[in-house]
Structures are given as structure tokens and as C-alpha cells.
Amino acid sequence: MTLDQPQVWTIIAALAVGTYFIRWSFLGLLGDRELPEWAVRHLRYTAVAVLPGLIAPFVLWPTATNGETDPTRLIAALVALTVGVWRKSAVGAILSGFGTLYLLQYLT
Amino acid sequence: MKPKQTTSKSAFWAGYRDCTPFLLVACPFALLFGVAATEAGLNILQTMAMTVLVIAGAAQFTALVLLQENAPTLIILVTALAVNLRMAMYSAALVPHLGKASPRMKMLIAYLNIDQTFGLATARYPQETEWTLADRCSYFIGASLAIMPAWVVFSYIGAAFGATIPDAFALDFAMPICFLALIAPALRSLPHVAAAATSVIGALALSWIPFSLGLIIAAFFAMLIGAQTELWLARRKP
């Protein structure tokens, strides 16, 4: 796949600067200022609010199968999620997901 | 050698040791990021630039996904930075411990402020009441040096060899699996689950909105639902 090169570099640069600024914000600039409780309460959920919605379409309609729902990938994803939640383990999710995918691909 | 230096040195190695177990998670993630970045069409230089300059796995994967969806630059940046907003909370939480460090030291710590180092440091600092400011800084740097070189090296391995792995290994699945691996351990409380469910349902229901804008709207409501569920749970407790 070919990407728009200037766009890729713009994103890398802006993401680097933006992320660094977020990390530096209170420590380097704003100092000993309490974040209001309501802000912390919302910040706690920012990552978990973005990531699941971002990946759901890719799990349901994979690019590799041109958007056709693929039972093997779907089952492998469900296994990965279940193991990840149950064992609270990211490595467990990765290994069980790929393991299931390869097993199902071998069997079918 | 002055005794103070000795403590800083041992604090450095304490951080290094404490962070080593995280390699088990960071190395596969880095490897798969390298692979997924190549799959998405980034060259090695771009992949490594992103890995070294951004060093935030979840945001890097977010940018990759949206690049593949041909989302506009602004949308990609807003979404990926939203994933990183939690780090403002980290930055604020470090102020009581490291706020008196020199500006240059704080610039360095900011760069090293990732989920793992932050989590370790804020867990350890309250226990180590004897530690000086220099010790606390050394601990943070030690923890970072345990994980970050590996993060960079394994991203490189993934990027360099990802393209040579045959299609039969279904490496397109590297991206979804990494997201699931990031999300699953985070689903530790009812508010987190409620936010995640809102995110999925909202993103699918709003996928007709152009430029991947539906995701941002879904994420906004998911965040509100998470916060509101937390408040609701707190009110229910006597």
C-alpha cells in the first residue's frame, strides 16, 4: 500500500510533539496544580473509549479478506479478548489469539 | 565515593530490576508494531522515527489504523492524542515527587514518562521515604533504560523482517490482536467495560460519518459513560 509521504511525516512529527507536550505539561510547565477531580475521572477512560471502537471494524470486516467477515479471525479475536480479560495478560491475549488463528487456518 | 551517590546508583538499579518483567509484554508489542507498520506501508525510517519520538504503543497503533483508513491528518492526530491524554494525569501525579528537579531533568523525565515507568515510580516513591530527589530521578531513569532500548530494537526487528514473512502467517492480524491485548487487561472495572462497550457500539453505529469522525464522537460519549458509571457506583456505596 502506498501512503502519502508528507502526510506520514506530518503525523509522526505532530504526534511526537503533542505526546511529549502532554507528558511534560504538569511536570514542566503547570507545576503543583491539582487536576480537578472531574478531569481525572474522564481522563481515566480516554484510552478505553478510543481503542475498542477503533479496532472493532477491523475485527468484523478484515482488510485482508477485503472486508468480508472471516470466521477464523473473528473467533481468534474473541479467544484473545477472553484470555486477555480472564488472565489480565496482554501476552496471553497475543499468544492465544495467534495460536487460535493458526490452528483454525490449519484445520480449515 | 560519597554515600549519596551510592544510593542514587542503587535506586537506578532498583528501577532497572523492577521494570525488567515488563519486557515480556513490551518486546512482543514492539515486534508486532514494527510488523504492522510495514504492513500499513511505512518504511523503516518512518517506523523507527515514530517508535523513538512518540514511544506510546497505543497511540502509534491508532495512527497506523487511521492511516490505512485514509483518514485526514487532523482526525488522525486528534484521535491518537486523545489516546495519550491519560499521560497528562501521569504528569500531574509526578509533580509531588519530582517537581523540584531541574528543568532539564524534568524534560528528560517527561520523555521517559510511559505507562510502565510511571506505574512503577508512583508505586515505589511513597514506600521509599529515605530517597532523595536524585534517588527518585535515578529510579525513573533506571526503569526507562530497562524497557526503552528493547522497545526500539524489537520495533526494528519487526519492521526489518515483517515484509519477508509469508502471507500465510496472516500478519494483518497483528494489529487487531495488539489492540485486543491492550484493551483486555484494562477492562478491570465496570466503568471501563461500560466505556469500551459504548465505544464499540458507537463507532459501528456511526461508521457512516465520513473521515472517521464517528469514532471521535463515539469515544467522547464512551468517556462520559465511563465517568458517569464511576460516579453512579460511588453513590451506590454507603
- For chain B, give the mean pLDDT: 89
Predicted local confidence at residue B5, as pLDDT: 52
Residues 6+ apart with CB under 8 A from A21: none
Task: Flag the least confident range among B43-57, B138-152, B210-224.
Answer: B210-224
Predicted local confidence at residue B116, as pLDDT: 87
pLDDT tens digits along B80-108: 998 898 888 889 888 889 988 999 999 99
Interface contact A8-B191, CB threshold 8 A: no
Domain residues of chain A, as ranges?
A: 49-107
Predicted local confidence at residue B6, as pLDDT: 57
CA angle B79-B84-B88, nearest 5°?
A: 130
H-state helical runs in B133-207? 133-162, 174-183, 190-205
Please report, rounded to a whole number, the percentage of residues in chain A having pLDDT higher than 90. Answer: 42
Is pLDDT above 60 for B1? Answer: no
Predicted local confidence at residue B211, as pLDDT: 79
- For chain A, give the mean pLDDT: 88
Interface contact B183-A55, CB threshold 8 A: yes
Predicted local confidence at residue A57, as pLDDT: 87
Identity (one letter) of the amino acid at B17? R
Is pLDDT above 60 for B235? Answer: yes
Q: Is A49 on the interface with B (CB under 8 A)?
A: yes
Question: What is the band of A83 on the pLDDT scale with cuts at 50, 70, 90?
Answer: very high
Q: Which residues in chain B have Cβ-Cβ distances shorter than 8 Å to A89?
A: 184-185
Distance CA A90, CA A73 (A): 18
Question: What is the band of B2 on the pLDDT scale with cuts at 50, 70, 90?
Answer: very low
Predicted local confidence at residue A1, as pLDDT: 54
Identity (one letter) of the amino acid at B116? Q
pLDDT tens digits along A22-39: 999 989 888 777 778 888
Predicted local confidence at residue B26, as pLDDT: 86
CB nearest to A15's CB, from B25, B59, B89: B59
Half-sphere exposure in the Cβ direction for B193 (13 Å, CA): 5
Show which of residues 75-94 on chain A sit within 8 Å of chain B, judged by CB atoms: 76-77, 80-81, 83-85, 88-91, 93-94
ipTM beyond cut 0.95:
no
Is pLDDT above 80 for B237? Answer: no
Q: Which residues in chain B have Cβ-Cβ distances shorter than 8 Å to A105?
A: 168, 170
Q: Are B100 and A34 in contact (CB under 8 A)?
A: no
Interface contact B62-A51, CB threshold 8 A: yes
Interface contact A24-B41, CB threshold 8 A: no
Please report, rounded to a whole number, the percentage of residues in chain B having pLDDT higher than 90. Answer: 53
Is pLDDT above 90 for B29? Answer: no
Interface contact A45-B226, CB threshold 8 A: yes
Distance CA B173, CA B156 (A): 19
CB nearest to A43's CB, from B28, B56, B89: B89
Predicted local confidence at residue B85, as pLDDT: 87
Residues 6+ apart with CB under 8 A from B234: none
Distances (CA, A) of B41 to A51, B79, B211: 21, 20, 20
